[in-house]
Amino acid sequence: MEETIFDKIIKGDIPADVVYEDDNVLAFKDINPQAPVHVLVIPKKKVTSFNDLKNLSPEETGLFLNGVSTVAVSLGLAADGYRIVLNCGSNGQQTVEYLHAHILGERQMKWPPG
C-alpha cells in the first residue's frame, strides 16, 4: 500500500492540527477547510477506502464510527447539526487513499451536494 499524507501524519512525520486522539482514531483539522469547522477523522488501522471497510472487523468499524461521533460532539456541533462526508473513488472525489470521514459544521449545508 502506498504511503499517503495521512500515514505520515499518523507517524508524526508531518505536522497536523490534532483535535482528538484515542487508541482507534486520529482527528485533525483539514488543511483546506470547506466550512468554519472542518475536521478529518481516520482510523489508526489503515484502510484505503470505504470499498475496503471489510478489512476492519465489525468492532473496529464501530470504533471508527464512534470516534467520528465523539469528535463531532466534542467540537460542540451536536445542537445545530453537521455533515459527515465519506468520499470514495474518483466519482466521489476521494483524493487521499486512506479512509477518512470529513466532519463539516457551523454553517448551513445544502442538498443536493455538489
Angle of CA points 20, 25, 30, to nearest 5°: 60
Q: Given the complex with ligand AMP, which of 9 and 56 has the nearer CB atom? A: 9
Nearer to ligand AMP, 69 or 86 (CB): 86
- Check if 100 is active-site: yes
Query: How far is the C-alpha of 8 from the C-alpha of 28, rounded, in Å?
Result: 13
Tally Cβ neighbours within 10 Å of residue 56: 18
Q: Spot the catalytic one: 100, 102, 103, 104.
A: 100
**Torsion of Cα atoms, 28 then 32 then 36 then 37, to 10°:** -20
Number of residues this chain uses to bind ligand AMP (CB under 6 A):
12
Q: How many residues does the chain have?
A: 114
Binding flags for ligand AMP, 43-82, as an x/- string (CB under 6 A): ----------------------------------------
**Element at 66 (helix H, strand E):** helix 58-74
Among 27, 41, 77, 94, binds ligand AMP (CB under 6 A): 94
Q: Is 32 in the site for ligand AMP (CB under 6 A)?
A: yes
Give contact residues for ligand AMP (rule: CB under 6 A).
Answer: 5, 16, 28, 30-32, 40, 87, 93-96
